[in-house]
Structure 1
Amino acid sequence: MTSKGKILVVDDDRLVLATLTHGLVQAGYEVIDADNGDDAILLAREHRPELALLDIRMEGMSGFDVAAYLREALQTPFMFLSAFADEDTVAKVKELGAVAYLVKPLDIHQIVPAVEAAFANLRGRIGGSTPTEPPRAQGGDEVLGQTEAMAVGVLMHRYSLSRRDALTRLRRMAAAEGRSLPDQAARLLEAVELLALPATDQA
Structure 2
Amino acid sequence: MSGSKGKILVVDDDRLVLATLSYGLSQAGFEVIDADNGDDAILLAREHRPELALLDIRMEGMSGFDVAAYLREYLQIPFMFLSAFADEQTVAKVKELGAVAYLVKPLDIQQIVPAVEAAFANRRAPPPPLPAREAIGAGATVLQQLVPMAVGVLMHRYSLSRSEALQRLQQSAEDEGRSLAEQAQRLVEAVELLAQPGRL
Report SS of the residue matched to 1:189: helix
Report SS of the residue matched to 1:109: helix
* Aligned residue identity for 2:127: G
Q: Could you tell me how far 1:154 is from its partner in structure 2?
A: 0.8
Report SS of the residue matched to 1:122: helix
8 A Cα contact 1:99 1:145, kept in partner: no
**Counterparts of 1:23 and 1:122, CA distance in 2:** 21
**Counterparts of 1:14 and 1:44, CA distance in 2:** 19
Alignment match, 2:192: 193
RMSD between aligned residues:
1.3
**Counterparts of 1:101 and 1:56, CA distance in 2:** 10
Q: Could you tell me how far 1:129 is from its partner in structure 2?
A: 4.7
* Aligned residue identity for 2:122: N
**Counterparts of 2:6 and 2:155, CA distance in 1:** 26
Alignment match, 2:11: 10
Alignment match, 1:38: 39
Cα displacement string for residues 25-55 of structure 1 (whole angstroms, at most 9, x for unaligned residues): 0000000000000000000000000000000
* Aligned residue identity for 1:155: L
Alignment match, 2:165: 166
**Counterparts of 2:167 and 2:50, CA distance in 1:** 31
For residues 66-81 of structure 1, the aligned pairs below 5 Å read 66-81=67-82
Alignment match, 2:58: 57
* Aligned residue identity for 1:8: L
Q: Which consecutive residues of structure 1, in runs of 5 or more, have no partner in the other structure?
A: 131-143
Alignment match, 1:137: none
Alignment match, 2:101: 100
* Aligned residue identity for 1:170: L
**Counterparts of 1:68 and 1:60, CA distance in 2:** 15
For residues 108-119 of structure 1, the aligned pairs below 5 Å read 108-119=109-120
**Counterparts of 1:30 and 1:160, CA distance in 2:** 32
Runs of 4+ that moved beyond 4 A: none
8 A Cα contact 1:78 1:99, kept in partner: yes
2:145 is the alignment partner of 1:146? yes
**Counterparts of 2:116 and 2:160, CA distance in 1:** 18
Report SS of the residue matched to 1:145: helix
8 A Cα contact 1:82 1:102, kept in partner: yes
Alignment match, 1:136: none
* Aligned residue identity for 1:158: R
